[in-house]
A = this chain, B = another copy of it.
Amino acid sequence: MKSEKRTAGRPVTPVLSRELIGEQALELVTARGLEQLTMTNLAKRLKVAASALYNHVANKADVVLLIQDALVSQVSLAGMQRLIDHQATLEEALYDWAVSYRAVFAEYPSLIPTIAVTPVSEAPKTLRMYNTVAQALTGAGIPDEQVIDVIVAFESFLFGSALDVDAPSTIFDTDDVTEDSAWLDRVVKASKATAGDPPANGSSEGTADGVRNRYADPPFQFGLAALIQRTKSLVEA
């Protein structure tokens, strides 16, 4: 243990940077959850005093911003790139992007409300993602003035779907069947009967995407198909 404690006063070479803070914040929130993301815990991980963080970030919201920008860069743009290069269809590109987007953000549901309202100008990697998607959709023949609507509609659905992944499988279960729940119970039962009890494939835990709520996938596929179909109908002849 050579944990040499740092003395007060400016260090010869800076210990912290926004990049380092963002990186460690993401690791912290991944390992221990958002509720453990405190300035104190983050500082401890970086082996500095909590107050030192404020030389690099404005406040905790600023830290959250660093996390989400790091997350966005994990979203796959491969399908959109192929669409730009005419190597994929509009449908394939939208599907690839949507599945990847949801999977990434489903890991951090509590970040979603902030992400949803953060201006892209404050998050450079997020800006780049939207730019690529805009380019691909334009190239595929979606009229300029509708591209944003398509992006926002998809995003709304993806954010909501990411939240749903975190819901318990029993979210629609009722304690006892009363008059107020008879219809709901009926359709929930029918749904579970079709889905089958163990996950459809042989994997031991969760689904292919690491989805926790076993029943989250069919509604996601249904909604996604609806949006893709409608988007295709916008393409100019």
CB atoms of B226 and A230 under 8 A apart:
yes
On chain B, the residues within 8 Å of A7 by CB distance are none
* A window 145-181: CB within 8 A of B: 145-161, 163-164, 166-168, 170-175, 180-181
- Chain B residues with CB below 8 A from A109, complex form: 113, 116-117
Interchain CA distance A181-B121 in the complex, whole Å: 10
Q: Is A76 located at the chain interface by the 8 A CB criterion?
A: no
Q: Say whether, besides A153-B222, A156-B220, A220-B156, A116 and B164 are in contact (CB < 8 Å).
A: yes
Instruction: Check B180–A145 contact: CB distance below 8 A.
Output: no
Q: Could you mark each residue 197-237 of chain A with 1 if its beta carbon is under 8 Å from any beta carbon of chain B, else 0?
A: 00000000000000000011011101101110111000000
Known: A117-B109, A157-B157, A163-B116. A188 touches B148 (CB 8 A): yes
User: In angstroms, how far is the closest chain B Cβ from the Cβ of A112?
Assistant: 6
Contact B219 A187 (CB under 8 A): no
With an 8 Å Cβ cutoff, the count of chain A residues facing the other chain is 75
Residue A184 CB within 8 A of the other chain: yes
Chain B positions within 8 Å of A54 at CB level:
none
A-B contact pairs, 26 of them (CB 8 A): A109-B113, A109-B116, A116-B166, A120-B171, A131-B184, A132-B183, A134-B183, A134-B186, A138-B187, A143-B190, A145-B187, A145-B190, A146-B222, A148-B191, A149-B219, A150-B222, A151-B219, A152-B164, A153-B220, A154-B223, A156-B220, A156-B223, A157-B160, A157-B223, A159-B160, A222-B230
